[in-house]
Amino acid sequence: MSTLHEVALLRLVAQRLAGPRPSTALEAVRWLTAVQAQQLPGALTSVALRTTEGTRAGVEAALKAGDVVRSWPMRGTLHLVAAEDLGWLLDLLAPRVLSAVTGRRAELGLDAAQYERALELAGAALSGGRGLRRRALLDLWEDAGLSTAGQRGAHLLGQLAQTGAICLGPMDGAEQLVVLTGEWIGRPRRLGREEALAELALRYFRSHGPATLADLARWAGLRITEARTGLAAVRPQLACLTVEGTEYLLDARTPDLLEGCRAEARGLFLLPGFDEFVLGYGDRSAVLDAEFADRIVPGGNGMFRPTVVHDGRIVGTWGWTGRGAARTVTAVPFTAFADEATRAIASAAAGLP
């Protein structure tokens, strides 16, 4: 009989936090389809935790090679995606986001002519494989008389990214460079709408399942009818289980993978803020008691803290204190850590990418 505890353990395996990991950052990102990434350092760690190499350098190398890019493919939020997937994800998911901010952009005095001017300037500056830091691109627009004051700069960047003109590519120090999507991504995939809905549903449930139809809709920013259409096309390729009257979909291989690594899945994980284990679901009741939800998102401000996961449950938060060799992890339990969790925190911290 399945339980919510089993759902939590299965998710750790499906997300490749426990059990066999992908070999490369590209494979890990492609498996998850999209990795929440508004805080880039945490996103690099999230991906690294899911690879056999387990290093942030490996993720940065994938960005440098153009295998992985960062953009706003869904929900108006930054994600890491496989470069080949960016085009069809934007085609499927960005129009709804762009439509939702039409009024706000009008309030800011942004119109089609200004977006065309921004694109013209960006194209001239970035063509030939060149890249710019975001601040440098904003300064370029300002110098050309295109105001980026207030939120205008962010909306100009968002519009160009969500329409597929630009994306964030290789690292330059601690930042990524803005590049022209058409030059940076050599062989983008293009899918028809029905095919894209089906692929998104299949990949989501394989990499995040057990999860519900509502979880898919929330994660991708789809209407529930669109999520249902995608699921209907791929349901025969998925397994399902029912827990407390709720239907969950998953990869049929995940339960067998869990049996091969159950002890690891029941162990301790230190996850960055915004990790997909938390952000990948609308309903987090399988992994988090509702009374502690405000501990990981204080005041519902949208800023997710790093989490301590033990035996499949989120049981506390953590953060770094000190610098350099003196840097240590401070973990704060919601109630009290189990003894084995307390003993595992230091070694988990030492192994963080």
Is residue 290's pLDDT more than 90? yes
Q: Is the pTM of this model over 0.75?
A: yes
Contacts of 280 (CB under 8 A, 6+ apart): 11, 15, 208, 211, 215, 219
Tokens of 346: 């230091």
pLDDT band, residue 324 (cuts 50/70/90): confident
The helix or strand, by DSSP H or E, that contains position 79, with its residue range, turns out to be strand 77-82
Residue 291 three-state SS: helix
Other Cβ atoms less than 10 A from the Cβ of 117: the count is: 15
pLDDT band, residue 300 (cuts 50/70/90): confident
State the Cα angle at 80 between 267 and 183, rounded to 5°: 155
Mean pLDDT, the chain, whole residue set: 96
pLDDT of the residue at 1: 60
